Structure 1
Amino acid sequence: MQFVRINGVSLHYRYRPRAGRPTIVFVNSLGTDMRIWNAVARQLSDDYACVFYDKRGHGLSELGEAPHRIETHAADLAGLLNHLGVAGAVICGLSIGGVIAQCLYGTHPHVIEGLVLCDTASRIGTAEMWNGRIRAALSDGIASFADGVMEKWFTPDFHEKRGDELAGYRTMLTRQEPAGYAAACAAIRDADYRTTAAAIRVPTLCVVGDRDGSTPPELVEGLARSIPGARFEIIAGAGHIPCVEKPDRLAALIREFMTDDMQRRRA
């Protein structure tokens, strides 16, 4: 395991360099850790340098002083990339990870060569919704709403046919520290990049599962429409976490993006 202290917190990360190959940085969603990318990584890490990390307050990374903002997460990621000597990368962010990627483009555009925004938006949910989630996490525990989250993360087919995996991902969620989960909820609640998406000037792919119950296809399509030249793709048979439910399809879309969209930019 690899750890580094960035902005006062110890961040857990994994870096697989590939000399002369483009770098993809994977940013996980709320209530998960970097293991959600494992199946995608198996298909891409031979051909691309890959960075995975647990954002602060998640997985094995420290929370630090809370509350904090999406800008805090973006500064953490910028610091990690600087530590690794990664000067330019494609940032692939899921849900809050996609919000962090949008923020990073605004604060450190020089480190970004492209964006893959998965099941995310420029603004997610309402203050009332997030405040309710924060109260529940801190008072009743994450397990009190975990089943509802699973319904948004995964399709009915996943629930029916992949019950052992479902139990594992539910455990990943419920073992999350409530303070870290609540701090990330507050950061999402206060984030709004609807007025800045039009300023993005790097190749961008927006992807969503057709059964996503957290950021539905029409919301993600709206994000794609707001970013000049962005591609929009729907993954059939996937909920909010396509890197778990349909990793082959997501990996194929990322590879296509890297070989077509990114190469056209470099030409």
Structure 2
Amino acid sequence: MKLPIGDIEINVVDSGAPQGAPVVFAHALGLDLSVWDAVVALMPPQLRLIRFDLRGHGQSEVPPAPYTMGALVRDAEALLDTLEVRDAVFVGNSIGGMIAQGLAVKRLDQIRALVLSNTAAKIGQPALWAERIAQVQRSGTGAIAAAALDKWFSPAARKTEAAQACARRVAETAAEGYTGCCAAISGTDFYTPTSGLRLPVLAIAGGHDGSTPPDLVRETQLLVPGSQFALIHRAGHLPMIDQPEAFAQRLTDFLHDIGHL
């Protein structure tokens, strides 16, 4: 369903147990909420599972670029307020994990724990993102789909239908939405605010991740005292795609550890 959130409409799927403990999922750049399908299917039935498309992605509205990380965080904040969600576990992959950090700093009433998947407090340098934006503005998102596969998946996994579907999603993402979120990532450095967080955190890294390598994920995890780190050896940047069983198991174990299940 599409919900009016601030000045745009956000596409959201709210499934599972309506009165269950909420778990919120935010996807990576150039993808959509469907990347969580396999993981959601493996989660315990007593949870309320909320997935949404970022602004400019999937079936959400595509406002003019550029976007700020503050706007993306406000989208998530307003969405959870609209759905009357409190004390959620927020699972964010890549840019979704940056949104998770920003929202936890801003609204601890909404967030009781974070799962930071293949993400960091800062990802890349502004020059890298400026080059990516220029490339997409010249040639569209289809021009960067193959390069995304190379960074996101191991050589063997790139040939799978699941990986190829991700490439198609990138190519179908609106250039305005993609470059808008590139600008948001470029302008974000959460090292200081994330280091002030005091809540349960599980950081998940993939052994074959070329976008946010395990050392970068661990560096962010170590900012939060008492946080946990899990490495999925055969996964890339999208472990919910290439290793959904392992991802779902680590997520479920974490939910048990913190009493969310």
Contact 2:162–2:242, Cα closer than 8 Å, also in 1: no
Could you say what secondary structure the match of 1:145 adopts?
helix
In 2, the alpha carbon distance for the partners of 1:148 and 1:20 equals 42
Give 2:114's aligned residue.
115
Output aligned runs, 1:229-240, within 5 Å.
229-240=226-237
CA RMSD in angstroms, aligned pairs only: 1.4
- Give the Cα–Cα distance (whole angstroms) in 2 for the partners of residues 152 and 68 of structure 1: 24
AA of the residue aligned to 2:252: R
Q: Distance in 2 between matches of 1:20 and 1:5?
A: 22
Provide the residue aligned with 1:183 in structure 2. Answer: 180
**Residues 179-222 of structure 1: per-residue CA shift (max 9 Å, x gap):** 10000000000000011122111100000111100000000010
| Native 8 Å contact 1:31 1:176 kept in 2 | yes
Specify the alignment match of 2:171 in structure 1.
174
User: Which digits, 9 at most, give the CA deviation of each residue in 1:133-186, with x for residues without a partner?
Assistant: 0000111112222211101111112124x2x33322211110100010000000
Count, aligned residues: 261
Q: Does residue 1:91 correspond to 2:98, yes or no? A: no
Is it true that 1:62 corresponds to 2:30 in the alignment? no
Deviations along 1:67-120, one digit per CA (max 9) or x if unpaired, are: 221111111111111111112200000000000000101221210010000000
Aligned partner (choices 250, 253, 257) of residue 256 of structure 1: 253
Instruction: Quote the Cα distance in structure 1 between the aligned partners of 2:163 and 2:120.
Output: 25
State the TM-score, normalizing by the size of structure 2: 0.97
Quote the residue 2:154 is aligned against: 155
Q: Cα deviations across residues 119-141 of structure 1 (Å, max 9, x unaligned)?
A: 00000000000000000011111
Distance in 2 (CA, whole Å) between partners of 1:206 and 1:121 is 9
Query: 1:166 is matched by which residue type in structure 2?
Result: A
Write the mapping of 1:167-246 to structure 2, written as runs, cut at 5 A.
167-246=164-243
- Single out whichever of 236-245 and 45-54 deviates more from structure 2: 45-54
Deviation at 1:27, TM superposition (A): 0.2
- Aligned twin of 1:22: 21
- Gaps in structure 1 of 5+ consecutive residues: none
Q: Quickly say closer, same or farther: Cα 1:258–1:130, change in 2 above 3 A.
A: same
Cross-structure match for 1:142? 141
Q: What's the % identity of the aligned pairs? A: 32
CA distance in 1: counterparts of 2:239 and 2:152, whole angstroms: 9
Give the whole-Å Cα distance in 2 for the aligned partners of 1:85 and 1:142.
35
Q: d(CA) in 2 for partners of 1:75 and 1:127?
A: 22
What displacement does 1:34 show? 0.3
Q: Does 1:40 align with 2:67?
A: no
**1:13 positional shift:** 0.3
Question: What are the ranges of 5 or more consecutive residues in structure 2 without an aligned counterpart?
Answer: none
- Name the SS of the counterpart of 1:156 in structure 2: coil
Is this contact kept in 1: 2:204–2:217, CA < 8 A?
yes
Conserved 8 A contact 2:64-2:180: no
Contact conserved, 1:16 with 1:45, CA < 8 A, in 2?
Answer: no
Q: Check 1:229–1:170 CA distance in 2 against 1; reply closer, same or farther (3 A cut).
A: same
> In 2, Cα distance between the equivalents of 1:200 and 1:66?
30
CA distance in 2, matches of 1:198, 1:173: 32
Deviates further, 151-160 or 27-36: 151-160
**3-state SS, counterpart of residue 66 of structure 1:** coil
2:162 counterpart residue number: 165
